[in-house]
């Protein structure tokens, strides 16, 4: 019964992905772009976006089918148990090596598709700036970091299970909480593994950003420019930091392609998130959404029949985590994500309202349109796709609400 549930969860995950893709395709074919966003792409560029989107979806479909076939084969024919028997014995060694080997297999399966996406499709449409060397180094770093984190979490779970028995999941939950807080707190430290950061030069932009944050009770520790152009032509910007001490990160593509008012408007939006403690609230909600995950962990780890159906003679935390993150996690997190995405969209609408009321509405609209154009955004997603997973409202809705706020 448990194996059947796992198979159903895997299939549901891929069906969901294909269904949402079909929703957006069918909606785009039947509904014209909203008037407010028609100037983002001209007719030629809109055709390019359709071609770009179709190629990305086709690649994701092929990748999904191959990954689905491999994953189903491993679960249906007890492939993980067979792999476990080839590895050294021992509770720690076998579990950690099982996870590491599986992550290596998954990474190798994904590598040609990632390469095609970045070095072929993104290159074809003018977005890629990565060299082959940078691409493969990034892939290696991602593998090492993710494998290290998962193996570390498994080691914690084993140690806690030995020490606390069935109450181990509480300690694992606490470890997840600490990990998530550390990622949020030291996000720039992790990013510096991949990118170079240089201080924004002295000048009008730096002075205006500093003054805006200072006037609202915050101190800027640093304003960084990140060398995003090493990998892409796309643009972004974000804030980080705890309490009243903040750091700003600007993609160099943003600094070089946007005017000062547009950048100021973007950070007026970010400032609103800080004033309403949106980052803290989302972190707490993310911690809550992991509670059902650790309860699932408790169930799989304490019911011998679960892993017995997978061909294992006893408890193996490597397999427990593979089951959770490859199968059971997706449907659970998808259901949780629906209300969380709705809450996030509410926060984004509120954050757009501040620059609109502060005389920066036109600059924010201009910045949003530039970002959509640079990032080749979907300007007309299906409303159901938005409700299911979008953490930002569609750009047409954001423009409409900004203009409404300007007129009040």
Matching residue, tokens 């408007």: 265
From first to last of its 408 residues, the chain has per-residue pLDDT tens of: 788 888 888 888 888 888 888 888 888 888 888 889 999 988 888 888 889 988 998 998 899 899 989 999 999 899 999 999 999 988 899 999 999 999 999 999 999 999 999 999 998 988 888 889 989 999 998 999 889 988 988 998 899 888 888 788 788 888 777 777 776 666 677 777 778 888 888 999 889 988 888 888 877 778 888 888 888 887 777 777 656 666 778 888 888 888 999 989 988 888 888 888 887 777 778 777 777 778 877 888 888 888 888 889 888 989 988 888 888 777 777 778 888 899 999 999 999 998 998 889 999 999 999 989 888 888 989 999 899 889 899 999 999 999 998 877
Between the CA of residue 252 and those of 12, 162, 203, 206, 227, what are the distances in Å? 40, 49, 16, 14, 6
Q: How do residues 244-298 score in pLDDT, each as one tens digit? A: 666 778 888 888 888 999 989 988 888 888 888 887 777 778 777 777 778 877 8
Closest CA to 44 of 274, 397, 373, 283: 373
Would you list the domain boundaries of the chain?
A: 2-185+282-343
Q: Residue 209's Cα: distance from chain center in Å?
A: 27
Where residue 126 falls (left for φ over 0; alpha for ψ -120 to 50; beta otherwise) is left
Q: How many CB atoms lie within 10 A of CB 26?
A: 11
Write out the two tokens for 315. 């408890």
Closest CA to 20 of 57, 56, 48: 57
Residues 407 and 53 sit within 8 Å (Cβ to Cβ): no
Closest CA to 126 of 41, 232, 39, 54: 232
Matching residue, tokens 């074919």: 29
Residues 134 and 230 sit within 8 Å (Cβ to Cβ): yes
Matching residue, tokens 């198979």: 7
Angle at 407 between CA 404 and CA 408, to 5 degrees: 90
- Lay out the sheet containing 245-251: strands in order across: 197-199, 219-226, 245-251, 237-240
Residues 115 and 128 sit within 8 Å (Cβ to Cβ): no
């Amino acid at each position: 019964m448990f194996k059947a549930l796992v198979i159903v969860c895997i299939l549901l995950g891929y069906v969901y992905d294909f269904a949402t893709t079909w929703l957006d395709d069918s909606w785009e074919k039947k509904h014209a772009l909203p008037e407010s966003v028609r100037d983002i792409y001209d007719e030629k560029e809109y055709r390019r976006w359709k071609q770009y989107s179709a190629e990305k979806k086709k690649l994701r479909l092929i990748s999904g089918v191959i990954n689905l076939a491999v994953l189903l084969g491993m679960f249906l024919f007890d492939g993980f148990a067979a792999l476990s028997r080839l590895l050294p014995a021992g509770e720690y060694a076998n579990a950690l090596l099982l996870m590491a080997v599986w992550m290596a297999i998954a990474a190798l399966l994904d590598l040609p598709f990632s390469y095609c996406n970045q070095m072929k499709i993104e290159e074809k449409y003018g977005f890629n700036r990565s060299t082959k060397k940078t691409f493969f180094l990034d892939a290696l770093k991602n593998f090492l970091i993710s494998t290290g984190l998962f193996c570390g979490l498994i080691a914690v779970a084993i140690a806690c299970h030995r020490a606390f028995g069935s109450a181990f999941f509480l300690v694992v939950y606490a470890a997840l909480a600490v990990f998530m807080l550390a990622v949020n707190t030291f996000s720039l430290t992790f990013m510096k593994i991949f990118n170079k950061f240089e201080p924004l030069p002295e000048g009008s932009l730096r002075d205006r950003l500093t003054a805006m944050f200072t006037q609202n009770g915050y101190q800027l520790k640093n304003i960084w420019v990140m060398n995003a152009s090493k990998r892409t032509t796309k643009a972004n910007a974000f804030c980080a930091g705890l309490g009243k001490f903040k750091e700003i990160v600007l993609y160099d593509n943003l600094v070089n392609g946007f005017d000062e008012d547009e950048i100021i408007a973007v950070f007026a939006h970010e400032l609103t998130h800080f004033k309403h403690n949106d980052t803290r609230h989302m972190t707490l909600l993310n911690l809550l959404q992991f509670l059902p995950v650790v309860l699932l962990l408790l169930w799989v780890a304490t019911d011998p029949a679960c892993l017995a159906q997978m061909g294992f003679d006893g408890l193996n935390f490597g397999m427990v985590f593979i089951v959770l993150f490859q199968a059971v996690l997706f449907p659970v997190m998808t259901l949780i994500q629906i209300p969380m995405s709705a809450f996030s969209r509410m926060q984004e609408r509120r954050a757009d309202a501040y620059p609109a009321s502060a005389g920066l509405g036109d600059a924010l609209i201009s910045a949003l349109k530039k970002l959509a154009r640079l990032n080749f955004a979907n300007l007309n997603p299906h409303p159901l796709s938005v409700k299911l997973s979008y953490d930002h409202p569609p750009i047409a809705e954001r423009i409409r609400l900004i203009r409404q706020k300007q007129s009040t």
